[in-house]
Structure 1
Amino acid sequence: MDPPVALASLSGEADAEWARAGTPFAGAAFIGGIALDAESRAAARATVADRGRSEFLPVDPLAWIADQLDVIVDDEHDLRAGVNVRATSAGAVRDAAAVCADRDAILEVNAHCRQAELCAVGCGETLLADTGRLSEYVAAAAGEGADVSVKVRAEVDGVDLADTARAVAAAGADVIHVDAMDSEGVVGRVKAAAPGQVVIANNGVRDRRTVREYLAAGADAVSVGRPSDDPQVMRRVRAAVDEWADGDGPADATIRAEPPGVSR
């Protein structure tokens, strides 16, 4: 997949229409996040009620994922689709991964959200402190034949993302999507810990300087979150990664369509 730019999921906003709008600039788009099971859906509803957050809450999450992916896959542009999911059980992740595998889409396990309601039921960044359960989710998704990404967050107390990267890579993760929280150095540590995995760097990607900082730190790709619907920002990011690939970085600095260890 080329270019090495991804659109990062935005709860309640990142759908197929959003992904299609970003196709001139990006090589991948992660829709969602979406809560899969009863507990995570109740927590997502609570974030809407308590704080007015925007969330995807379709009646049937799996049907929503299938419908959204079908729109993206049918697009004329070569965009790799992914789905960021929240769940309280490996079984729910497995079911979503099967839908993704059927459409050559990436299943992204959300170990990133920090909303109190979601963390209270064991979703989001609480998974970073429970590497065993996070690895179980990854293995469940990989077992369905889906390519697997794990979205993680830096600067969580007591969590060493290098250890997390090694654990999820061993469980079958192909991509580690790192919200660096303004700490570029964590990207290099994650890449060193899991050198066979694609590392996507996220947080504050806006322009040539931020793109170059992350790629120089060891990222294979960058992702854009909040300003992903701003063409001016996306043009700057796309120009920066093209410049890096053309002369300032490795020629193969792309998110590959088939990550290491995946066969079809």
Structure 2
Amino acid sequence: MMDAFERFGLLINDRVVRTPVAIASMAGIVDAGYVLERADHIGIAFIGGYSIDGPTMDAARAIASSGDRKEFIYDAPVIELKSQIDLMAKSDVIPGINLRGSTPESFSTIARTLGDRIVYEIDAHCQQPAMIAAGCGEFYLKHPEKLLAVIRALKSEGVTVSVKIRAGVADDDRTLVGELWKAGADILHVDLMDFGTAKLRQIRNACPLVLIANNSITTFDRMKDMLSHGADLVSVARQSDIRTLAGLDAAITRYAEEEGWYNAPKQLCRGGDIRSLTFCCMPVKECPLIPALTRIGMPKETYIRMKLEAVRGTQLDTGKQTCFGSLSWCCKTSSPCMFRDMTLKQAGISRKEYMRLKRDLSDMIMSRVFHDNTQDETS
């Protein structure tokens, strides 16, 4: 049995994520008690949403008084949040708090008081009119400069920042997520609404943030679809019952131990995201690789040199009988290839280990793309 980091390779807030299954916040419902009941089957949980200043607490009271939905109502945000965080410390679940605030100072004050043991999630997702009028939730997606200011305020306190957004609300999701990354956000938590995997791929191709996909992801098939289009984790909200969470956790654990790379992307020619460059061959013919390299601003020669340098001295630096003389150019194990498989057998590399090596190569490619190149992904 692999340990959690070997299996998934996920670190959040300097802690190993046990499983890429998360609980998303639901106002008035998801608190520490809710999380602890489900702790055996999740890796991270976002409690809340919690209102943290006058305007948002007034909005929460107005929403609750209407009787349409629940809210967390309290007079002392810091005391309540500290109590909830202390309770969550009884589990191995990484704690996150989904916060509704109307100013950067509201967020930085909370972070300064509670410290860096938790993930601070900015609620840029709520669509309740009262919250939007208070200057939070979807308000931030229509006024991204204010959202960026909140991120910077939190990062000035040295904490890990997640941003929860709703796809399709901002003028351009790709531009937005790139700006969130550059402002210092660490995690992007996306309610995909009805957009599906095409939107997820666009977002993955626009930023290197830890990406959590949300919206009706309650079966392993749907979970695997999200992971293969760019997600690092998936989150569940309304259907976060123990049976659903346990099923997702068990299925992805088994899949990771069998396949080696739990969220391996589809190949680029089959609709894969930018991570799938790890599986692409040399750019010697007209195929989706050529326009993909153009969009990320990487010359073909740079791509070739980058992959060859990355695998030099590694187990992927072999395979003279493969199509291009190196496993660095070989495809995913789900695609049949006798030359790749023959090389793996001769080199004593299991298919699972091969996929893990490809994951390492993908991580390096992502770093090069986002730190050394200007890119404008549009597909």
Work out whether the TM-score is over 0.5. Answer: yes
Q: Report the counterpart of residue 183 of structure 2 in structure 1.
A: 171
Aligned ranges 1:54-69 → 2 under 5 Å: 54-69=70-85
In structure 2, runs of 5+ residues without a counterpart are: 1-16, 265-366, 368-379
Q: Secondary structure at the match of 1:24?
A: helix
Structure 1 residue 101 displacement after superposition? 2.7
User: Which of residues 201, 205, 211 in structure 2 aligns to 1:188?
Assistant: 201
Asked if residue 204 in structure 1 is aligned to residue 223 in structure 2, the reply is no
Tell me, in whole angstroms, the C-alpha distance in 2 between the residues paired with 1:160 and 1:249: 35
Q: Check conservation: 2:98, 2:120, Cα contact below 8 A.
A: yes
User: Which of residues 107, 115, 120 in structure 2 aligns to 1:107?
Assistant: 120
Q: Check conservation: 1:205, 1:224, Cα contact below 8 A.
A: yes
Q: Check conservation: 2:27, 2:50, Cα contact below 8 A.
A: yes
Structure 1 residue 134 displacement after superposition? 0.3
Q: Report the counterpart of residue 257 of structure 1 in structure 2.
A: none
- Give the AA of the match of 1:96: I
Asked if residue 234 in structure 1 is aligned to residue 249 in structure 2, the reply is no
Tell me, in whole angstroms, the C-alpha distance in 2 between the residues paired with 1:176 and 1:207: 22
User: Number of residues paired by the alignment?
Assistant: 248
Structure 1 residue 105 displacement after superposition? 0.4
| Backbone CA RMSD of aligned residues | 1.7
Q: Report the counterpart of residue 147 of structure 1 in structure 2.
A: 160
Deviations for 1:156-190, whole angstroms, at most 9, x for unmatched residues?
2x522211111111111100000011322222211
Q: Check conservation: 1:7, 1:29, Cα contact below 8 A.
A: yes
Q: Report the counterpart of residue 112 of structure 2 in structure 1.
A: 98
Tell me, in whole angstroms, the C-alpha distance in 1 between the residues paired with 2:141 and 2:28: 23
Q: Check conservation: 1:19, 1:72, Cα contact below 8 A.
A: yes
Q: Report the counterpart of residue 92 of structure 2 in structure 1.
A: 78
Tell me, in whole angstroms, the C-alpha distance in 2 between the residues paired with 1:83 and 1:41: 16
- Give the AA of the match of 1:115: Q
Q: Report the counterpart of residue 125 of structure 1 in structure 2.
A: 138
Q: Secondary structure at the match of 2:41?
A: coil
Greater gyration radius: 2
Identity of aligned residues (%): 34
Q: Which has the higher contact order (CA 8 A, sep 6+)?
A: 1
Structure 1 residue 52 displacement after superposition? 3.1
User: Which of residues 36, 53, 58 in structure 1 aligns to 2:52?
Assistant: 36
Deviations for 1:48-79, whole angstroms, at most 9, x for unmatched residues?
12243111111101111111001111x1x321
Deviations for 1:193-224, whole angstroms, at most 9, x for unmatched residues?
112x1000000011111101110111000001
Q: Report the counterpart of residue 159 of structure 1 in structure 2.
A: 171
Q: TM-score, normalised by structure 2?
A: 0.63
Q: Check conservation: 2:217, 2:223, Cα contact below 8 A.
A: yes
Point out the more displaced range, 242-251 or 186-195.
242-251
Structure 1 residue 251 displacement after superposition? 5.3
Q: TM-score, normalised by structure 1?
A: 0.89
Asked if residue 88 in structure 1 is aligned to residue 117 in structure 2, the reply is no
In structure 1, runs of 5+ residues without a counterpart are: 254-259
